[in-house]
Amino acid sequence: MKPIISLILLLFLHNLLLSQNVTVNGKVLDSTTNQPIPGVNITIKGVYGIGTITDEEGKFSIEVPESSVLVFSFIGYNSKEVVPRIGEFMQITLTEELKELDEVIIVGASVKRSDLTGSVSNVTTEQLKNIPSGNLNQAIQGKISGVYIENNPAPGSKASIKIRGSNSIQFGTNPIYVIDGLVIDGGFEMLNPEDISNIEILKDASATAIYGSRGANGVVVITTKRGKKNKKIITVDNWMGYQSFSNEMPLLTGPETFDLRVDAYANAYMDKNPLADRDRYIKNSLTNTNPIKNLIFSKEELESYANGSTYNWLDQITRTGFQQNNAISFSGGNDDGTYYASFGYNYQKGQIQKTNYKRYTGKINIEQNLKEWLKFGSNNSYINTSEKPVPNDNMFITALRACPLLPVSKDYWYMKEGKIDNQSSSNPLRDLTIDRDIFSNRLLSSNYLNISPIEGLDIRSTYSVDVQQVENYSYYPTTSTQSYKSTYNGQSVQVKSKTFNYQWDNSVSFRKIFDGKHALNILLGSNLSFYSYNYNQQNASGYNNDLFSYKYVQGATDKDRFYLGSDFWTYSLMSYLLRINYSFNSRYYLTLTGRADGSSKFGPSNKWGLFPSIAGSWNITNEKFMKQQKIFSNLRLRIGYGIAGNQNIPNYGYLTRYNPSISLESNILTNSGRYGNPSLRWEKQKQINGGMDIGILNGMVEMSLDVFKINNEDLLMERSTAPSSGYLTQIDNVGALENKGFEFSLSITPFHRNNIEWNIGFNIAAAKNTITKLYGDVTEIYNLGGYTNNEIQREGNLFLGKPLNTIYVYQFDHIAQESDMDYINSLEKGSRIIKPGDILPKDRDNNGIINDQDRYVFGKKDPDFYGGINTELKIFNFGISLQANYSKGAHRISYLYETLMSSIGTSAAHRDLLNRWTPENTNTNIPRAYSDGGRFNIWDVDWAVQDASFLRISYLTLSYVLPGRFLKSLQMNQFRVYFTGNNLFTMTKYKGYDPETGDWYPSSKMYILGFNIVF
């Protein structure tokens, strides 16, 4: 940080101290049309009283102190700062300000961005242009403070996004997405990124109050592009990239794996037969080259060992990935209205064979003035995707784990671990014979009518629909392990679902300025939202051949084992909203919001909740006493308090319900074990937020700081009830969660000459949550699962006074040594065995028993802080930009590392095992090899929990913009070509594949080439 600060100071001084006057001449042009702009205001940054305007031909001449910064501003255009170059005729281009940038469409109404008091951040297309990505979530990662995004590396898959940490225990931590006024719960990543004009993230209760009923986890407001008056534009965006895995696990070679296995089995044998001759046992039974006499190696493995071979199964199922994105758009308009139409294609060829993703998007936005007082608009997106997902989610790990001594072959049904078939892992080469297809169609349409009968009064009615149909098909051929194991003889699974949602919003807003000082804006609105979903499923088996995949169900013979399923559900929401914005003299701002929300998910007497909020801000720069100073160009304080709600629970939780099913050829009516709770009510999020925005020297430095505290109450969760009540669970309002944190963002333009510009952005955010109450006097709720479905899991447990996402394990003490054996023998440890070289967990309660009571909360999965760093440097027509993301303090369980570290040489093993405990190598934390069960495994103790902190260079883009003189001859308005490296480098201690995206599918790096043309 220090060098940056000194640099800034230096620039300040530079600006303020030097003052020798020079004359600057030039011309101002429109960036897209290259036409001169008359009447542009030209001022000197930080100096009052000096200035000029451009003439009819857009020309200007001004005398200024040397090294001052000129500010060019004109209504309807983005203002621009330029450092003049002495003695040169300057050519300045201004880009037109997109009108919609100042307007945000909220549910049922359009409001000015400046009216959104509270904590709001935004990302514009300009910021997205250096991030070529088919997935919007990925594109905005690291750009906004307080927004935590974890990507998912598989083609077409979703990222998870959390705004201001976790604010709900169980039901919903995802924000809602609002696209041109239509609220959708998910699928935001399906949009064509090129269609996005602006993304607004509403973080605090005042900002989200407009969405009250569902704003508790933040709101992402997306505004898509509109056409512009009198400007016909065609844009073409294309990019393509090659993808390869960004990480490779360090594995033992075939011969090393051989040694590990011998060691593991010899150790287990010696434990049982302490008096036996180890070397003799190894020679006769473990390394014997006669496959019949050898107990642990198969014939093939002994051959591999003799040849020194190492087989790589992973190579057989993976390949180089490829992605491409093509988009074209047309826009224009006249005084009567505007249009924007686009078509997009995204294709991703996955790195696992057979996987891919294709997306076609089409969009039409129109806006038309029917009468002087009547306007209508329609925003429509159509999205078609087809996806071939990974045939079997485990296949990647299975292939990776395959023993390097095992020759690659399709012959085995199960993966072989030595002489044993591992019945829980299918042969990944056979998995490749599975067919899977997911097809979806989605239409998002939002249509409004706006009446302005008198000045300042707007009446708006919006009707929106979101329709989606998904077809999900799988076929497990007779050659697949799945079919063999369950004796299906070929099984098809077809699931078809339909979602239909509509939303009707009506609003009346009134805007008036009294006495030139008091600005008042009142909004009254109502909303109806209706959601419906249905699906049907059929599984058929007994094909006996694999002729037609899942496509011809008539060929299935095993009628007894057909499965049919379907369901239909609906839910609805209704709201009233009153919002008053008042501002005095552009200095003091006040926003009051009151809303009532009803949800069908609650019982008859608790459907409604009230969600008020209040927020104020003070624009200090507009105060008289600030007029004289030249340092702060913006200084604003904000404070707000409000309540948001959450109703994101399963449907019909207020009822005890019985479903029919078939048993023994007749109908039975059974209940799933959930007891209805008629007193369910809204989960409430009470949030207080304070913030400050600072701009220094006309935006050379901009900072924004927010601190917040959220008290989440009446948290909804499905809790277990006393078993003697006859029902095992109930959805209930339980407990409370406190969440505190801050967000800080900084952007600096340390260098800004006419043709050279350098920007730096940095943001950091932290959120820390604590469970402050669970129901009754319960102090912990365990997440049970595992082998018996009754073991306490490491993740998903809730502890009073601890954060939400914890990891609960034994404490690693040390590796047991011979000298510990007296102590170990005195311990009661159930059926566990601890011998020298094994893990000795700490008996934390010191009672001589090692059991679940000795487990403790070790670390949490949420980071202490996280954020992004970006910088962009433009030199003449060249640009270089860099985006980095970081996260510190999160822990993660790496199943991959644990698996590889638990290897006994019958499967692939991590190279760290070379440093395992042996009687000769006792000073180590890595347990000895041991082929039997019963020890404390590495995953039982905190030793294996990984620090998932990382710093990642996610995008590095080099670009070149063709200069104006070439453009003319090419009949283009703009041509930009770029080369991007995605995910080039990650700094982390994490031992699995990727600290962010986890282990089941490794993250990849991609090299992208793209261009962008505007006609």
Partner 1 sequence: MNATERKRKYLILILIMFIVSSCNKDFLEQDPQTSLSTDQLFSSLDNVQPFLNGLYFKWRSTRVNRKGFYLMLGMDESQQGEYQVRTEAEQAALDKYDGFLDPNNKPIAELWNIRWPVVVQASEALVRLNAKFKNANTKDSAEIINYIGQAAFYRGAVLFELATYWGGLPIPEVTEQNIVLSGRKSLPDTYAIIEKDLLLAVSCLPQKQGSDPRIPTTWAAKALLGKLYMSAPEESGFRDFDKARVQFEDIILHGGFSLVSNFADLWNPYKTAGKEAIYTFFFNNIWPDTNEAQWYTGSRACSGNPTNYLGGYDLILPTEFCRTDASVGGLWEDGDLRKMESIRYDFMNGDMVPSVYAGFGEDQLLPHIKKYEDIRLNGKESFYNSGKNMYYLRYADILLCYAECLNETGNTSGAVIIINDQVRKRAWGGSLPEDKKWSTGMSQEEFRNKILDERMRELCFEGWRRFDLIRTNKFVQRIATYNKWAKESGTISEKHKLLPIPYVEIKQNPELTPADQNPGYN
Supply the minimum distance, in Å, between the C-beta of residue 231 and partner 1.
Answer: 32
Q: Which of 20, 35, 666, 969 binds partner 1 (CB under 8 A)?
A: 666
Joined tokens for residue 691? 């913030």
Joined tokens for residue 393? 């989610």
Supply the minimum distance, in Å, between the C-beta of residue 40 and partner 1.
Answer: 39
State phi, psi for 167 to the nearest 5 degrees. -125, 15
744 alpha carbon, distance to own chain's centre: 20
Q: Which of 48, 89, 552, 569 binds partner 1 (CB under 8 A)?
A: 569
Is the Cβ of residue 539 or residue 973 nearer to partner 1 in the bound state?
A: 539
Does position 664 bind partner 1 by CB under 8 A? yes
Supply the minimum distance, in Å, between the C-beta of residue 657 and partner 1.
Answer: 4
Is the Cβ of residue 545 or residue 779 nearer to partner 1 in the bound state?
A: 779
Supply the minimum distance, in Å, between the C-beta of residue 420 and partner 1.
Answer: 5
Does position 830 bind partner 1 by CB under 8 A? yes
- Please tell me the count of residues contacting partner 1 according to CB under 8 A: 92
449-508: contacts with partner 1 (CB under 8 A): 451, 453-454, 459, 461, 484-487, 504, 506, 508
- Contact partners, residue 556, CB within 8 Å, separation at least 6: 490, 492, 540, 541, 542, 543, 562
CA–CA gap between residue 406 and residue 417 (Å, rounded)? 8
- Contact partners, residue 374, CB within 8 Å, separation at least 6: 449, 450, 451, 452
Joined tokens for residue 552? 């011809």
Q: Which of 333, 418, 640, 803 binds partner 1 (CB under 8 A)?
A: 418
CA–CA gap between residue 694 and residue 618 (Å, rounded)? 12
Q: What is the CA radius of gyration of the chain?
A: 32
Q: Which of 250, 456, 673, 801 binds partner 1 (CB under 8 A)?
A: 673
576-605: contacts with partner 1 (CB under 8 A): 576, 598-600
CA–CA gap between residue 644 and residue 714 (Å, rounded)? 12
Supply the minimum distance, in Å, between the C-beta of residue 197 and partner 1.
Answer: 28
Segment lying near partner 1 (by CB under 8 A), choices 337-345, 702-710, 780-788, 873-881 = 780-788
Does position 421 bind partner 1 by CB under 8 A? yes
Enumerate the β-bridge partners of residue 24.
62
Distances (CA, A) of 499 to 86, 190, 371: 63, 16, 36
CA–CA gap between residue 539 and residue 556 (Å, rounded)? 10
Enumerate the β-bridge partners of residue 44.
70
CA–CA gap between residue 655 and residue 651 (Å, rounded)? 9
Supply the minimum distance, in Å, between the C-beta of residue 775 and partner 1.
Answer: 9
Segment lying near partner 1 (by CB under 8 A), choices 160-168, 214-222, 337-345, 782-790 = 782-790
Is the Cβ of residue 445 or residue 541 nearer to partner 1 in the bound state?
A: 541
Supply the minimum distance, in Å, between the C-beta of residue 728 and partner 1.
Answer: 6
Is the Cβ of residue 89 or residue 569 nearer to partner 1 in the bound state?
A: 569
Is the Cβ of residue 531 or residue 641 nearer to partner 1 in the bound state?
A: 531
Supply the minimum distance, in Å, between the C-beta of residue 106 and partner 1.
Answer: 16
CA–CA gap between residue 365 and residue 145 (Å, rounded)? 31
Segment lying near partner 1 (by CB under 8 A), choices 251-259, 356-364, 802-810, 930-938 = 930-938
Q: Does residue 722 sit in helix, strand or coil?
A: coil
Distance between start and end Cα atoms, the chain: 42
CA–CA gap between residue 9 and residue 237 (Å, rounded)? 40
Q: Which residue spans within 225-277 are E strands per DSSP?
A: 233-245
Does position 855 bind partner 1 by CB under 8 A? no
122-141: contacts with partner 1 (CB under 8 A): none
Is the Cβ of residue 546 or residue 558 nearer to partner 1 in the bound state?
A: 558
Segment lying near partner 1 (by CB under 8 A), choices 56-64, 379-387, 524-532, 805-813 = 524-532
Q: Does residue 482 sit in helix, strand or coil?
A: helix
Supply the minimum distance, in Å, between the C-beta of residue 261 and partner 1.
Answer: 11
Give the x-and-dash track for 372-391 against partner 1 (CB under 8 A). Answer: -x------------------
CA–CA gap between residue 770 and residue 787 (Å, rounded)? 30
Residue 287: CB atoms within 10 Å: 18
204-233: contacts with partner 1 (CB under 8 A): none
Buried b (16+ CB within 10 A) or exposed e, 408-440: beeebbbbbbbeeebeebbbbbbbbbbbbbbeb
Segment lying near partner 1 (by CB under 8 A), choices 787-795, 807-815, 880-888, 921-929 = 787-795
Is the Cβ of residue 156 or residue 905 nearer to partner 1 in the bound state?
A: 905
- Contact partners, residue 465, CB within 8 Å, separation at least 6: 443, 444, 445, 500, 501, 502, 503
Supply the minimum distance, in Å, between the C-beta of residue 223 and partner 1.
Answer: 24
Element spanning 474, H or E: strand 457-476
Whether 565 contacts 537, CB under 8 Å: yes
Supply the minimum distance, in Å, between the C-beta of residue 253 and partner 1.
Answer: 23
Of 958, 946, 953, residue with least CA distance to 986: 953
Joined tokens for residue 61? 């001449």
Joined tokens for residue 255? 């011969």
634-663: contacts with partner 1 (CB under 8 A): 651-652, 655-663
Is the Cβ of residue 95 or residue 671 nearer to partner 1 in the bound state?
A: 671
Does position 933 bind partner 1 by CB under 8 A? yes
Does position 826 bind partner 1 by CB under 8 A? no
Q: Which of 47, 493, 528, 972 binds partner 1 (CB under 8 A)?
A: 528
- Contact partners, residue 921, CB within 8 Å, separation at least 6: 915
In this structure, are strands 219-224 and 176-179 parallel, antiparallel, or unpaired?
parallel
Helix 254-272 × helix 299-307 angle, to 10°: 130
Q: Which of 20, 628, 826, 831 binds partner 1 (CB under 8 A)?
A: 831
What's the burial of 48, exposed, middle or buried (CB within 10 Å: 0-12/13-18/19+)?
exposed
Counting every residue, how long is the chain? 1015
Supply the minimum distance, in Å, between the C-beta of residue 446 and partner 1.
Answer: 17
Supply the minimum distance, in Å, between the C-beta of residue 814 and partner 1.
Answer: 22
Joined tokens for residue 10? 């230096």
Supply the minimum distance, in Å, between the C-beta of residue 713 and partner 1.
Answer: 21
Does position 292 bind partner 1 by CB under 8 A? no
Q: Which of 48, 89, 552, 568 binds partner 1 (CB under 8 A)?
A: 568
CA–CA gap between residue 650 and residue 673 (Å, rounded)? 14
Is the Cβ of residue 794 or residue 832 nearer to partner 1 in the bound state?
A: 832
Supply the minimum distance, in Å, between the C-beta of residue 407 and partner 1.
Answer: 20
Whether 160 contacts 890, CB under 8 Å: no
State phi, psi for 264 to the nearest 5 degrees. -60, -45
Q: Which of 828, 864, 918, 966 binds partner 1 (CB under 8 A)?
A: 828
Supply the minimum distance, in Å, between the C-beta of residue 519 and partner 1.
Answer: 23
Supply the minimum distance, in Å, between the C-beta of residue 927 and partner 1.
Answer: 17
Does position 671 bind partner 1 by CB under 8 A? yes
Joined tokens for residue 290? 């006669």
Segment lying near partner 1 (by CB under 8 A), choices 97-105, 146-154, 518-526, 838-846 = 518-526
Joined tokens for residue 542? 């007994």
Supply the minimum distance, in Å, between the C-beta of residue 794 and partner 1.
Answer: 15
State phi, psi for 925 to the nearest 5 degrees. -100, 5
Q: Which of 520, 553, 620, 728 binds partner 1 (CB under 8 A)?
A: 728
Is the Cβ of residue 603 or residue 836 nearer to partner 1 in the bound state?
A: 603
Is the Cβ of residue 394 or residue 600 nearer to partner 1 in the bound state?
A: 600
Is the Cβ of residue 449 or residue 553 nearer to partner 1 in the bound state?
A: 449
User: Cα-Cα-Cα-Cα dihedral of 300, 305, 308, 314, to 10°?
Assistant: 60
Is the Cβ of residue 538 or residue 656 nearer to partner 1 in the bound state?
A: 656
